[in-house]
């Protein structure tokens, strides 16, 4: 069975973790000073490196080279060559236990985990428990309470590393006993750089526009972008943006910008023809509406605050920003604020409608007919 690209190219040290310098710097400094905490809570959007960071931190806790070599320990990284590091990488370690809280959230399971965690490590200097999607413990009454006492007074050998995409579901009593680290959405340039590196290593044929589209479709998640790359390159053809749109049913920036241009120019017949064409080609009209909302939101906010362009650089390429700047001049708040509201209404309606194109077409007609 082939290894997934996101697993094959998963970082093995903190320095390789893209776009999370605010996290890696603190962890490296703590590791260099041998000041590893007893509990960590890593939170942020999907695919930004939380689980990867947890595994790297587990290796730092258990790395045999760090225990023997003070000079190496000052680097704040695992060696990735000693037995503990290689065993953790391959998932064979008995002292590093990784649990998916989504499927192991019953009180009895948590208590069993804690009882095992209290036992001394079998091979390493520390025992590490990685709880992924820890917010799912909230589904079972008492699971967080069962965890609380151990977090408050942990054995000296035990390190808890918890990861979640929904921090608000983690009780304050749990979060307050952890060192908390926020993982940010990755800027599009970082994702493009990583995808380009993978494509070069795998000797794949993907053109530059297709790489940009895959990075945009990742929506700040490197893992999502890597998964889409693996999916589309399985076709064994040279990959272009048109192929991605055809096979994934996801529209690129140029298609959305083109429809937005027709709306801005009040070309109603052409707008309706374009929506009909996209629907016939099998594209997701609900997703198209969502993209239009975000597109007009960017245009409107740039109208009132051009400085926001620096923020949009994390989501868009230079070419896309240039296109946005051209269209900002066509924005009329009196017309386009109601348009955004109408698109939001149509989006909420079409998600549950067997006729997804109708709410979008009605919204466009109502806004452009006069």
Task: List pLDDT tens digits, range 27-55.
Answer: 999 999 999 999 999 999 999 999 999 99
Domains of the chain (ranges, CATH numbers): 5-183 (3.40.50.300), 188-248 (1.10.8.60), 253-368 (1.20.272.10)
Q: What is the pLDDT along the chain (370 residues), one digit of tens a residue?
A: 566 788 888 999 999 998 899 999 999 999 999 999 999 999 999 999 999 999 999 999 999 999 999 999 999 999 999 999 999 999 888 899 998 888 877 888 888 888 888 888 888 989 999 999 999 887 777 888 888 888 888 888 999 999 999 999 999 999 999 999 999 999 888 999 999 999 999 888 898 888 988 988 888 899 999 998 988 887 767 888 888 877 776 778 888 999 999 999 999 999 999 999 988 888 889 989 999 999 999 999 999 998 888 888 888 887 888 888 899 999 999 999 999 999 999 999 887 778 889 999 999 999 888 6
One-letter-per-residue 3-state SS of the chain: CCCCHHHHCCCCCHHHCCCCHHHHHHHHHHHHCCCCCCEEEEEECCCCCHHHHHHHHHHHHHCHHHHHCHHHHCCCCCCCCCHHHHHHHHCCCCCEEEEECCCCCCHHHHHHHHHHHHCCCCCCCCEEEEEECHHHHHHCCCHHHHHHHHHHCCCCCEEEEEEECCHHHCCHHHHCCCEEEEECCCCHHHHHHHHHHHHHHHCCCECHHHHHHHHHHCCCCHHHHHHHHHHHHCCCCCECHHHHHHHHCCCCHHHHHHHHHHHHCCCHHHHHHHHHHHHHCCCCHHHHHHHHHHHHHHHHHHHHCHHHHHHHCCCCCHHHHHHHHHHHCCCCHHHHHHHHHHHHHHHHHHCCCCCCHHHHHHHHHHHHCC
Task: List pLDDT tens digits, range 246-257.
Answer: 777 677 888 899
């Amino acid at each position: 069975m082939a290894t997934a690209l996101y697993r094959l190219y998963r970082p093995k040290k903190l320095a390789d973790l893209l776009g999370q310098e605010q996290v890696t710097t603190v962890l490296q400094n703590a590791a260099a000073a041998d000041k590893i905490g007893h509990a960590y809570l890593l939170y942020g959007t999907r695919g930004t490196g939380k689980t990867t960071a947890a595994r790297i931190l587990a290796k730092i806790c258990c790395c045999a080279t760090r225990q023997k070599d003070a000079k190496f320990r000052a680097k704040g990284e695992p060696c990735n060559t000693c037995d503990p590091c290689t065993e953790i990488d391959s998932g064979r370690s008995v002292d590093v236990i990784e649990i998916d809280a989504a499927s192991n959230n019953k009180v009895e399971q948590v208590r069993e985990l804690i009882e095992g965690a209290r036992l001394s490590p079998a091979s390493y200097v520390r025992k590490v428990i990685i709880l992924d999607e820890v917010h799912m413990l909230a589904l079972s009454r008492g699971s967080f309470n069962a965890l609380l006492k151990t977090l408050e007074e942990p054995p000296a050998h035990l390190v808890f590393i918890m990861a979640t995409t929904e921090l608000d579901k983690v009780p304050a009593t749990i979060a307050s006993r952890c060192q908390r680290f926020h993982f940010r959405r990755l800027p599009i340039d970082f994702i493009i750089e990583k995808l380009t590196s993978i494509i070069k290593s795998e000797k794949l044929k993907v053109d530059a526009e297709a790489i940009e589209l895959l990075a945009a479709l990742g929506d700040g998640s490197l893992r999502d972008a890597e998964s889409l790359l693996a999916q589309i390159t399985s076709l064994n053809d040279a990959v272009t943006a048109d192929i991605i749109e055809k096979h994934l049913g996801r529209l690129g920036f140029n298609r959305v910008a083109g429809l937005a241009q027709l709306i801005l120019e009040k070309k109603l017949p052409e707008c309706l023809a374009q929506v009909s064409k996209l629907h016939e080609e099998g594209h997701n009209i609900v997703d198209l509406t969502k993209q239009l909302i975000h597109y007009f939101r960017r245009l409107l906010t740039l109208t009132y605050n051009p400085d926001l362009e620096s923020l949009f650089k994390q989501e868009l390429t230079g070419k896309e920003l240039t296109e946005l700047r051209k269209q900002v001049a066509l924005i009329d708040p009196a017309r386009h604020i109601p348009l955004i509201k109408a698109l939001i209404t149509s989006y909420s309606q079409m998600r549950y409608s067997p006729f997804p194109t109708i709410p979008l077409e009605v919204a466009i007609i109502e806004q452009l007919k006069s």
